[in-house]
Amino acid sequence: MRIGIISDVHGNLEALNSTLLFLNSRIDFLAVLGDTVGYGPDPEECIGTVKIKANLILKGNHEEGIITGNYTAFKDIARVSLEWTAKVITSDSLKSIREFKETAEVEDILFVHAAISSPLFKYIISDKDAMNEFALLDKKICFIGHTHIPAAYRKEGEDRIDVIHPDFSGKMEIEIEQGYKYIINTGSTGQPRDGFPFACASIYDTEKHLFTLHRVEYPVEITRKKILEKGLPSVLARRVVQGI
């Protein structure tokens, strides 16, 4: 099976559509790892699209914010865009968001938005963070998002972690080997923050044991304009263009 994995679409319909077009003929199953809304100008359309296209949709911290209406854990820009998102999404989409799960399993794979120890909120940014998560991982691979920065952690033995970073073009290819466990951050489709403004689109081929993170070019100028036209913070327009 070829599993497509995307995360952190963040209301960026242009990135989502281009990514789905890219993945379309290359995958048999699509997993969406949360934060489909927040920051971006098209939350309603993005929810509608992933509901049609995805086999599995997880909840992220931004969905949790919309559900609870409690934005105290968010920085100003996130809070402002979530307050706007809560106003523009339909009750039907809100109902769907409430039903998104926090974790899911397929074969020997665990999917979660942020971390096993804290599915919605904890940031895994170091090998030390990953070590604590591996202690909780009873599958071979865990796919995560949340930080918007692609990276992979490979656990060998009791106390050794290898960190794998993307190449010069922001892409990653990892052979999944026997005897190791992996935690793989698939980056962000709609708001990359690793300096590459191209949408992240991952594929894991369970038969070839090969994980590939691709970068997809999309019409970011349209997204940039929409962010400004809809009155969202202008820093968000700059972020999608610069990939930071």
* Interactions with Fe ion, residue window 93-132 (CB under 5 A): none
Give the interface segment with Fe ion, choosing from 3-11, 87-95, 127-135, 199-207 (CB under 5 A). 3-11
CB of 10 to Fe ion, least distance (A): 6
Nearer to Fe ion, 8 or 63 (CB): 8
With CB under 5 A as the contact rule, which of the stretches 6-14, 48-56, 81-89, 165-173 interacts with Fe ion?
A: 6-14
Structure tokens at 2: 């070829």
Strand 181-185 and strand 141-144: the pairing is: parallel
User: Per rule CB under 5 A, is residue 8 in the interface with Fe ion?
Assistant: yes
What number of chain residues touch Fe ion (CB under 5 A)? 2
Minimum separation from the CB atom of position 49 to Fe ion (A): 17
Residues composing the chain: 244
Separation CA 219–CA 13 (nearest Å): 10
Site membership for Fe ion, residue 14 (CB under 5 A) = no
Determine contact, residues 34/211, Cβ cutoff 8 Å: no
> Which residues in the chain belong to E strands, given as ranges?
2-6, 29-32, 56-57, 103-106, 109-112, 141-144, 151-156, 160-164, 172-175, 181-185, 199-205, 210-216
CB closer to Fe ion, 181 vs 239: 239
- 89 vs 42: CA distance, rounded Å: 9
Minimum distance from CB of 122 to Fe ion (Å)?
A: 13
Which residues, 25 to 44, sit near Fe ion by CB under 5 A? 35
By CB under 5 A, residue 63 contacts Fe ion: no
Crossing angle between the packed helical segments 234-242 and 220-229, to the nearest 10 degrees: 170
Please report how close the Cβ of residue 159 comes to Fe ion at its closest, in angstroms.
Answer: 30
When the beta carbons of 14 and 35 are compared against Fe ion, the nearer one is 35
Residues lying near Fe ion in the complex (CB under 5 A) are found at 8, 35
